[in-house]
Structure 1
């Protein structure tokens, strides 16, 4: 069974740990993000032992990350789930996980997950990968780390309606075959593969074929136009949040940002992007719940009035 995740997620990718030589701490995100996606883990073909797994340019144990790991633990201690992102734009990682190489390259990845107590893995597949390879990886991770271990996938948004796809396998088929083992999808709504504003493409994903529950589709957007093509301003993301929650209710999956270090509207305080998104969802949730309470109160009054009329009619007849 899938590890159930909270609704209204605020997901932030954290790949740039240093900006102009200065460490960028994720600690200001405490209380505002539900999940931090630590990017990007890679598997290196031909390497041996601990050098098989790199986090960006270094082994995870490198002194480069010395200030980061205590901060990661602090986020987890304050309720934020930390998920490692595996793959991304750099090719090669998933070539290491074909059946003939799996027993060589998977165990070091498993060891890193255990060592750093990651809460899950985000599988960002941007190379041609067979359905068998991605299925085996998902099932092995579940077997090793249990049902509470979060496994997310990061397709470009169009792949969830069988359009443009960087992964090689069909996500709709994957969802049909092993959907219960996938916690949710971090769908990339940028780089020409989709946009979150307006919300039409998100709607098409939910309504496509058998559909994916909107609680399991998190919309990932760019946090700064320098991070790629297809930037949407925080104001327009908020507008779509309002529309999407009006459509899908308070259980909606939420939004995420690529990436943390230079997030607008204020890249000197990049946590402001996450704060803006969390506040927008809280405000919309409160509006929806208040409206629901009004409806329930009106219906209760109507039922009471009906009972009163029936009682009066019965009294007259007797």
Structure 2
């Protein structure tokens, strides 16, 4: 599955964490299937939290079996039937994660490790997941972009370059966070630096905030379109984009959040939608987090008229909370 999923490039990945509005009304993902001109490749349902009590695994703030998630799990079955796959320390903590993946029939897992963890520990987890769920099970990780350039600029503790050397064959791709001070998606430069360092572009997905309300680093559409068009032209195996998060994605906002996916489909996967083209390798993935505790003008041959500013010295910082 890792090989076939990489063939479907560029990817369009969406995180779905806010599953109810303030009134408790379910936020449906079905428009990603029913609305025209959308070819989302993966939906990440976030976030599974492994808490201090190994038996108290939660999806956001409630147990995965809580009745509030009945509609969500039902919609995921529909998404899977439409060609969208889902991916939802040690034995005591691993068991509830294993059970949830089995019970919900998830297709893989996205490991968003935002507390210090050893290289040996993450390798052990990847090996166990592969052994338990087989070669078709999708395993992705969600590092901050800075971590792919400098091990010291990292939320996860371990060296991602070392992990790629040792277990890269088991990792489908990286949902790389180019926002909140850990990356810059307003120019193509940081992505180019990551590839120049040796990372394969098919494995680096650019993570974006879909709305300025969702975190620092939001990039307006006209500039983003220029950058992504350039990267797709520059790298034939461009890995794609990931959006954090679905429920209020621009330009449609809370009323039409699927419009972000329509724009990305038109830009990156033209001519496709949920029912056209090659069978989608779309996945619903569950995010696993740790516990509580000058001017550069884009190539005119591309028809791009937007000037892309060259950033000043990059200042790495983080302004999100542990719950984000």
User: Normalising by structure 1, what TM-score?
Assistant: 0.80
Structure 1 position 127 matched with structure 2 position 134: no
Cα distance in structure 1, aligned partners of 2:265 and 2:184: 20
Look at both structures and tell me which one has the larger radius of gyration over its CA atoms: 1
Are 1:70 and 2:45 counterparts?
A: no
Match of 2:212 in 1: 225
Residues 175/47 of structure 1: CA separation in 2 closer, same or farther (3 Å cut): closer
State whether residues 14 and 246 of structure 2, in contact with CA within 8 Å, keep that contact through their aligned partners in structure 1.
yes
Specify the alignment match of 1:265 in structure 2.
Answer: 251
Question: Following TM superposition, by how much is the alpha carbon of 1:108 offset from its aligned partner in structure 2, in angstroms?
Answer: 1.4
Q: Measure how far apart 1:283 and its partner are.
A: 4.3
- Residue in structure 2 matched with residue 298 of structure 1 by the alignment: none
2:176 matched to which residue of 1? 187
Deviation readout 1:28-73 (Å, 9 max, x if unpaired): 112531100010001121253xxx3210011111001011111011
| Contact map agreement 1:14 1:39 (CA 8 A) in 2 | yes
2:194 counterpart SS class:
helix
Q: Structure 2 length as normaliser, TM-score?
A: 0.78
- My pick for the range that moved more, 231-240 or 193-202, is 231-240
1:4 CA displacement: 4.0
Task: Number of aligned residue pairs: give it.
Answer: 263
1:275 is aligned to 262
Contact 2:54/2:93 (<8 A) preserved? no
Match of 1:38 in 2: 45
2-structure distance, mates of 1:284, 1:157? 30
Alignment of 1:239-258 (within 5 A): 239-249=226-236, 251-258=237-244
Equivalent residues of 2:203, 2:239 under 8 A apart: yes
Stretches of structure 1 that go unaligned for 5 or more consecutive residues are 85-96, 286-318
Residue 119 of structure 2 corresponds to residue 143 of structure 1:
no
> Secondary structure at the residue paired with 1:174?
helix
Query: Which stretch shows the higher mean deviation, 184-193 or 30-39?
Result: 30-39
1:26 corresponding residue in structure 2: 29
* Higher RCO, 1 vs 2 (CA within 8 Å, ≥6 residues apart): 2
Alpha-carbon spacing, 1:236–1:16, altered in 2? closer, same or farther (3 Å):
same
Supply the distance in 1 between the matched residues of 2:213 and 2:180 (Cα, whole angstroms): 12
Quick check: which one's helix share is greater?
A: 1
